[in-house]
């Protein structure tokens, strides 16, 4: 069979003729329609439920997994955010801790620098003073010629007592009343009869006080050894002389045997005359702070209690009469040539309204002819009022203004101190010395610091106040820095 006549091998079986192709297409369409119909019937008809159920079950299985995956993703996102937040807080806390540590270190370094500076300043002052003393030692004999000397009196024992046979010298009374330099004094437990605490505190300050304060009662004779021992150390004795027994309690105002009317009418005249004679026999000057804080309501020599009632049987006007009576007896015996009379009320801040009223303190002043120094007792002590700024002016200014309106006398801060309670002591001490350097306070000739820790009742509250100069390092440092300020003009004798 030739190639021209044989049928083609590549043509589809169903497309070998036109008629066959049309039949094939029609059959395919019919078949497709039948299959679609069958599928629709199976899906829609009740008999198709198993199929739908299978599909639904497959979907139900897929959907919870997807939901669970979504919830897990949300939890993961939240955990990631929490971790990031906590990392941020931890970083902030670490930075804050480092900052606090740095600040504390800086404060400590500053405090150490201040303490070192104060110690250096004190050492410099001590070196200068030692050099000055060595330079002037050769002239000490001629300087002694301006002093009052004596060999009488009991010297007593204890540290720093010196030789009992050595002459004891002191400046003249006139030089003491109007000193060239300010006084720095202290009260301690036993000075001037024992110098242990006095000397220990002086050594810490680095400056030897040139005044010593002490107390005596009217049941004691004149203690000449207090005066001689003080002047052996070159210190002016400042005696607080209380018209009551020496061991009387401070919480009672009743001492009927020592009422002002009894003193005025002469019940103690024999005692007073002998006391004055003993001062003359000793031959050394001293300050006498007679019945101090008379404007208060806590001592038996006060006149009224703030409610118009008498204290200890006293009458209004009796305090001045008592003072003048004692002074006149001393004048008769010649003792006033040796005594510096110190009239020293309490600061007016917390007194009853009647005791702060105009004219009240003035009525207690004996007069210029009977007084050499006016003074004050004043403390920084709790409870603190809300307006207290822990300054010198808050404590003293109102009282100083009152004193200056009464008399033009040298002012002695005869008994002062500051409590450590609540941590304001160093600030108050700094303010004290800064204020003493101001021109308006040039009439203040010194102070005597109450260097003890005492438990007492104040406004019904029992508290222990530590008045000591060296109660804390910052208080001591503030005291040293203030005392050695050149503008405050204290006698800066190095402590032994």
148-494: which CATH architecture? Answer: Alpha-Beta Barrel (3.20)
Q: Return contacts of 450-457, CB within 8 angstroms, 24+ apart.
A: 450/187, 450/213, 450/379, 450/415, 450/416, 450/417, 451/186, 451/187, 451/188, 451/197, 451/198, 451/201, 451/417, 452/187, 452/188, 452/189, 456/250, 456/251, 457/251
pLDDT at 341 over 90: yes
Q: How far apart are CA 338 and CA 373, in angstroms?
A: 14
Mean pLDDT of the chain, nearest integer? 82
Q: How far apart are CA 378 and CA 361, in angstroms?
A: 16
Token pair of 392, please? Answer: 């010198």
Mean pLDDT of 246-255: 92
* pLDDT: which is higher, 18 or 342: 342
Token pair of 37, please? Answer: 């119909």
Lowest mean pLDDT among 51-55, 73-77, 165-169, 375-379: 51-55
- Position 462 scores a pLDDT of 77
Q: How far apart are CA 210 and CA 233, in angstroms?
A: 8
pTM of the model: 0.71
- Position 40 scores a pLDDT of 59
- Position 152 scores a pLDDT of 40
Q: How far apart are CA 27 and CA 95, in angstroms?
A: 86
Structure confidence by residue, pLDDT tens digits, 258-288: 999 999 999 999 999 999 999 999 999 999 9
Q: How far apart are CA 481 and CA 485, in angstroms?
A: 7
- Position 150 scores a pLDDT of 45
In sequence order, what DSSP letters do the residues of 240-270 get, joined into one string?
EEESS-TT--TT----GGG-HHHHHTTTTHH
Residue matched to tokens 């440092």: 477
Bridge-based pairing of strands 236-242 and 453-458 is: unpaired
* Bridge partners of residue 371, in order along the sequence: none
- Position 138 scores a pLDDT of 40
Q: Helix 49-136 and helix 18-44: axis angle, to 10°?
A: 70
Mean pLDDT of 33-47: 57
Give the pLDDT band (50/70/90) at residue 477. Answer: very high
Residue matched to tokens 């004219």: 359
Cα distances from 67 to residues 72, 302, 389, in angstroms, run: 9, 93, 69
pLDDT at 443 over 50: yes
Residues in CB range of 463: below 8 A, 6 or more apart:
382, 421, 455, 456, 457
Residues in CB range of 477: below 8 A, 6 or more apart:
114, 115, 118, 426
Gap between the terminal Cα atoms of the chain: 153
Q: How far apart are CA 489 and CA 481, in angstroms?
A: 13
* Residue 429 near residue 418 (C-beta atoms within 8 A): yes
Within 13 Å and on the Cβ side, how many CA atoms surround 380?
27
* Bridge partners of residue 448, in order along the sequence: 185
* Residue 492 near residue 129 (C-beta atoms within 8 A): yes
Residue matched to tokens 């040293």: 480
pLDDT at 461 over 50: yes
Residue matched to tokens 């078949």: 31
Mean pLDDT of 175-187: 98
Q: How far apart are CA 480 and CA 211, in angstroms?
A: 17
Q: How far apart are CA 461 and CA 140, in angstroms?
A: 52
* Residue 166 near residue 231 (C-beta atoms within 8 A): no
* Residue 456 near residue 465 (C-beta atoms within 8 A): yes
Mean pLDDT of 356-374: 98
* Residue 218 near residue 271 (C-beta atoms within 8 A): yes
- Position 250 scores a pLDDT of 85
Mean pLDDT of 88-95: 60
User: Which secondary structure element, helix H or strand E, spans residue 38, and what is its range?
Assistant: helix 18-44
- Position 54 scores a pLDDT of 53
Q: In 10 A of CB 431, how many CB atoms? A: 23
Token pair of 478, please? Answer: 């503030």
Q: How far apart are CA 235 and CA 287, in angstroms?
A: 11
Nearest C-alpha neighbor of 470 from the set 183, 189, 119, 205: 205
């Amino acid at each position: 069979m030739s190639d021209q006549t044989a049928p083609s091998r590549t043509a589809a079986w169903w497309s070998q003729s036109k008629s066959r192709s049309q039949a094939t297409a029609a059959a395919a369409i019919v078949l497709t329609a039948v299959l679609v119909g069958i599928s629709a019937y199976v899906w829609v008809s009740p008999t198709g439920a198993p199929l739908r159920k299978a599909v639904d079950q497959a979907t139900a299985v897929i959907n919870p997994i997807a939901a669970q995956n979504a919830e897990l993703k949300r939890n993961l996102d939240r955990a990631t955010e929490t971790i990031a937040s906590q990392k941020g807080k931890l970083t902030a806390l670490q930075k804050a801790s480092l900052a606090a540590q740095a600040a504390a270190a800086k404060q400590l370094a500053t405090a150490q620098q201040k303490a070192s500076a104060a110690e250096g300043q004190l050492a410099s002052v001590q070196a200068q003073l030692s050099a000055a003393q060595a330079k002037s030692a050769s002239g000490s004999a001629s300087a002694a010629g301006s002093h009052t000397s004596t060999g009488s009196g009991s010297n007593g024992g204890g540290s720093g007592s010196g030789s009992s046979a050595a002459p004891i010298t002191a400046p003249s009374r006139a030089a003491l009343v109007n000193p060239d330099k300010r006084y720095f004094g202290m009260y301690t437990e036993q000075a001037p009869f024992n110098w242990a605490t006095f000397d220990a505190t002086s050594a810490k300050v680095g400056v030897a006080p040139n005044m010593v304060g002490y107390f005596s009662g009217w049941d004691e004779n004149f203690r000449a050894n207090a005066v001689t021992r003080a002047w052996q150390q070159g210190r002016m004795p400042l005696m607080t002389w209380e018209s009551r027994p020496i061991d009387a309690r401070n919480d009672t105002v009743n001492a009927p045997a020592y009422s002002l009317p009894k003193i005025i009418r002469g019940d103690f005249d024999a005692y007073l005359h002998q006391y004055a004679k003993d001062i003359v026999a000793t031959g050394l000057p001293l300050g006498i702070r007679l019945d101090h804080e008379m404007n208060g309501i806590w001592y038996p020599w006060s006149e009224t209690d703030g409610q118009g009632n008498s204290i200890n049987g006293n009458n209004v006007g009796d305090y001045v009469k008592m003072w003048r009576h004692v002074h006149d007896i001393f004048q008769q015996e010649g003792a006033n040539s040796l005594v510096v009379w110190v009239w020293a009320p309490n600061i007016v801040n917390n007194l009853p309204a009647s005791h702060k009223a105009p004219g009240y303190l003035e009525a207690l002043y004996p007069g210029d002819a009977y007084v050499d120094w006016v003074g004050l007792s004043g403390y920084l002590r709790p409870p603190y009022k809300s307006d207290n700024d822990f300054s010198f002016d808050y404590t003293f200014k109102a009282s100083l203004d009152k004193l200056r309106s009464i008399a033009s006398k040298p002012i002695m801060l005869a008994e002062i101190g500051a409590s450590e309670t609540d941590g304001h002591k160093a600030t108050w001490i700094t303010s004290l010395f800064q204020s003493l350097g101001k021109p308006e306070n040039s009439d203040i000739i010194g102070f005597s610091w109450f260097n003890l820790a005492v438990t007492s009742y104040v406004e019904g509250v029992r508290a222990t106040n530590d008045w000591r100069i060296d109660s804390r390092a910052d208080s001591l440092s503030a005291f040293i820095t203030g005392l050695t300020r050149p503008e405050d003009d204290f006698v800066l004798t190095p402590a032994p």
